[in-house]
């Protein structure tokens, strides 16, 4: 198995992606292809001891920046680290790609370079979401702002397969994010999607209100990309605000500082539960290869865990299972 890494991506660039890749090689025994500016990558590699047979470097002279227009960058920056890493997946020279770079460009590249699974109308960005019971999968989190009911039906199918095969949750509950739990709630999209999901071969929970998401009532959270991205960004902002407020309160007096010391272990565990680095990245489900978007501020640990995610995705044949499920569904409808 080979995993391609967009080594120039993320806030840390090669300093982070190279170290995360080396850690993955040591822990998982995986083969890594580092794609980017060769001299910078080798400078980082020379800092560590590792099995040189496990890491290959492919030079790429260009970098897609966060401010670049996604589609334009993918088409014009042919020699960028992101495009060359995606082409490795397309050409079956790598099983998956991990990038912490421009989200829009990676989504565009996944669609235009790697290509959609036959029968999938729109691939979906699928990050994990921390809940009281563990984690759920949020799909879609921003790849598709405007959706049709069939898209949400396919999101439910893909999410269910991924959660069962990679996150090891048996018979996962699939919920449709809505403004009420009653059947018939919502706009035309959610009403029609409800009917399609109810008649799909998944464990459909029904409508799910946003306030119930943190409780972990459902393992797969289905919505269009506009709603999903709003949920994701609000949660990130709220978590940051809560931790900041707690820190301010705990520093107010000697008494609160002592309380903070007593609570330190519990707070540390809570922060770990909310930490994106524990889960790797968001998978672009629906394309013919593993495409994983790591957070732009990913550290070495997040890159390593994104690689672990790519390994599990590949080993569990998620793409083939999705392809077969879509074929079977279309056959039943025909």
Q: What is the pLDDT of residue 321?
A: 92
Neighbouring C-beta atoms of residue 269, cutoff 10 Å: 9
Q: Alpha-carbon distance 310 to 327, whole Å?
A: 24
Contact 163, 170 (CB under 8 A): no
Give the mean model confidence (pLDDT) for residues 241-255.
81
- Per-residue model confidence as pLDDT tens digits over 162-207: 999 988 999 999 999 999 999 889 999 999 999 999 999 999 999 9
Give the mean model confidence (pLDDT) for residues 250-255.
82
Q: Are strands 2-6 and 31-36 parallel, antiparallel or unpaired?
A: parallel
- Per-residue model confidence as pLDDT tens digits over 286-298: 999 999 999 888 8
Q: Alpha-carbon distance 89 to 96, whole Å?
A: 6
Superfamily the domain 1-120+286-316 falls into: Isopropylmalate Dehydrogenase (3.40.718.10)
Chain-wide mean pLDDT for the chain?
91
Q: CATH 3.40.718.10 in the chain, residues?
A: 1-120+286-316, 125-279
- DSSP assignment letter at 111: I
In angstroms, how far is CA 236 from the centroid of its own chain? 15
pTM assigned to the model = 0.88
Residue 197: its H or E element:
helix 188-198
Q: What are phi and psi of 265, to 5 degrees?
A: -65, -45
- Per-residue model confidence as pLDDT tens digits over 52-98: 999 999 999 999 999 999 999 999 999 999 999 999 999 999 999 99
- Residue 209 C-beta-side C-alpha neighbours within 13 Å: 7
Give the mean model confidence (pLDDT) for residues 142-155.
94
- Which CATH code for domain 125-279? 3.40.718.10
C-alpha closest to that of 16 among 271, 306, 284, 268: 306
In angstroms, how far is CA 333 from the centroid of its own chain? 30
| Lowest-pLDDT range of 10-19, 91-100, 112-121, 269-278 | 269-278
Give the mean model confidence (pLDDT) for residues 115-130.
93
In angstroms, how far is CA 240 from the centroid of its own chain? 20
Token pair of 31 as six digits: 């083969």
- Per-residue model confidence as pLDDT tens digits over 132-146: 888 999 999 999 999
Residue 262 in this model has a pLDDT that exceeds 80: no
Q: What is the pLDDT of residue 231?
A: 93
Residue 333 in this model has a pLDDT that exceeds 60: no
Q: What residues contact 311, with CB distance under 8 A and at least 6 apart? A: 1, 3, 28, 30, 96
Q: What is the pLDDT of residue 59?
A: 98
């Amino acid at each position: 198995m080979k995993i391609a890494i967009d080594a120039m991506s993320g806030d840390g660039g090669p300093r982070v992606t190279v170290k995360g890749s080396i850690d993955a090689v040591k822990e998982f025994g995986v083969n890594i292809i580092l794609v980017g500016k060769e001299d910078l990558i080798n400078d980082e590699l020379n800092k560590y001891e590792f099995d040189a047979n496990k890491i290959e470097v492919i030079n790429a002279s260009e970098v897609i920046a966060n401010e670049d227009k996604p589609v334009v960058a993918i088409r014009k920056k042919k020699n960028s680290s992101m495009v060359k890493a995606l082409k490795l997946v397309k050409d079956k020279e790598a099983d998956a790609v991990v990038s912490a770079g421009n989200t829009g460009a990676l989504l565009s590249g996944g669609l235009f370079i790697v290509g959609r699974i036959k029968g999938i109308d729109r691939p979906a960005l699928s990050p994990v979401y921390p809940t009281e019971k563990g984690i759920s999968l949020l799909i879609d989190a921003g790849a598709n702002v405007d959706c049709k009911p069939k898209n949400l039906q396919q999101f439910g199918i893909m999410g269910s397969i991924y959660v069962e095969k990679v996150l090891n949750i048996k018979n996962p509950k699939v919920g449709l994010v809505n403004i009420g739990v009653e059947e018939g709630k919502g706009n035309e999209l959610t009403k029609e999607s409800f009917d399609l999901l109810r008649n799909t071969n998944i464990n459909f929970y029904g409508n799910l209100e946003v306030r119930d998401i943190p409780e972990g009532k459902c393992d797969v959270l289905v919505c269009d990309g506009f709603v999903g991205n709003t949920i994701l960004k609000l949660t990130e902002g709220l978590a940051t605000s809560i931790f900041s407020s707690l820190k301010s309160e705990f520093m107010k007096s000697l008494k609160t500082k002592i309380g903070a010391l007593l609570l330190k272990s519990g707070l540390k565990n809570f922060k770990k539960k909310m930490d994106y680095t524990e889960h790797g990245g968001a998978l672009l489900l629906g394309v013919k290869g593993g495409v994983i978007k790591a957070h732009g501020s990913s550290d070495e640990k997040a890159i390593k865990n994104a690689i672990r995610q790519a390994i599990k995705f590949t080993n569990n044949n998620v793409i083939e299972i999705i392809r077969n499920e879509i074929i079977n569904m279309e056959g039943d409808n025909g």
